[in-house]
Amino acid sequence: MRAMYVIPALVVLGALALSSIFIVDERKKALVLQFGQVTQVKEEPGLGFKIPFVQEVVYYEDRILGLQTNPLEVTMLDDRRLVVDAFSRWRIVNLVEFREAVGTGGETQALRRLEGIVNPAIQEVLGSVPSNRVTSEDRTGLMNQIRDIARRQAAALGIEVIDVRLTRTDLPEQNLEATFARMRAEREREAADEIARGGEAAQRVRAAADRTVVELTSDARRQAEVVRGEADAERNRILAEAYGRDTEFFAFIRSLSAYEASLKGANSSIVMQPDSEFFDYLRSDQAPGAAAPAAPAPAAPSP
């Protein structure tokens, strides 16, 4: 009979013991609440104890969290409008203040409250500078100003804002087409100027090349004429010298050349008088008017 009561009692005691223990992960922080009031803050990882069925444990992130803001349209100091996105990193540093500020909403409610702090800070800082400073690469000072403003205001929520970065700074959609058209027209004008300058330079190079070609061709022709004239003169000199050395042999060679030129065809015919001077070297082995040799020469064999 006693065992019938001991076992249930042990089960109840074990359940009570287990419900009185909670574990805090190294990535979490915990608050122990009793009827909505904070009774214990557990920030170190490990085991914790609470009163079963009376107290409850609420866990919060101990890691660095991020906030991506929605696109925000900001008017710059020079009346230009930009669409700005920002990314913020933050963490919970005071659990009690955080619980009082966001209630049961936790991190989700904290994100909405923090975005309501970061967006006005962005408008305040960027609205006081011209657009060219925002769109330049050196805008770290502006982001630090936004971070400092958000950090001061978020301290009341038990939150520490670690950093704020501008992720996008673009023109609004209605201004993009006009901006692109202006940029396109400017680039087309620059391209036309480059094409015109290139065409002018090409024309100068082409004219210089044509002039060089004419000059080189004229000089080459002049040199060729000079060389050809010198060659003709040298040829005539050699011919004259050869003719002067042996007029009979020169006349014989010229006659043979004439025979070769006139009798090239297969059926060549020549009609002229038999006693013509053209046949002098065919009728005799001595040219007309040549002096007779001292002794008779041996007869040449008949062809």
pLDDT tens, residue by residue, 102-136: 888 888 999 999 999 999 999 999 888 888 888 77
Res 168: pLDDT:
83
pLDDT tens, residue by residue, 70-86: 888 888 888 888 888 89
Res 253: pLDDT:
76
* Residue 298 in this model has a pLDDT that exceeds 60: no
pLDDT tens, residue by residue, 156-176: 999 999 999 988 887 776 666
Higher-confidence position of 257 and 26 = 26
* Residue 274 in this model has a pLDDT that exceeds 80: no
pLDDT tens, residue by residue, 38-82: 888 888 888 888 888 788 888 999 899 999 998 888 888 888 888
Residue 139 is given by DSSP the state -
* Residue 260 in this model has a pLDDT that exceeds 70: yes
Res 149: pLDDT:
94
Res 2: pLDDT:
63
Res 42: pLDDT:
87
Average of pLDDT values for 93-108?
89
Res 11: pLDDT:
64
Q: What is the pTM of this model?
A: 0.54
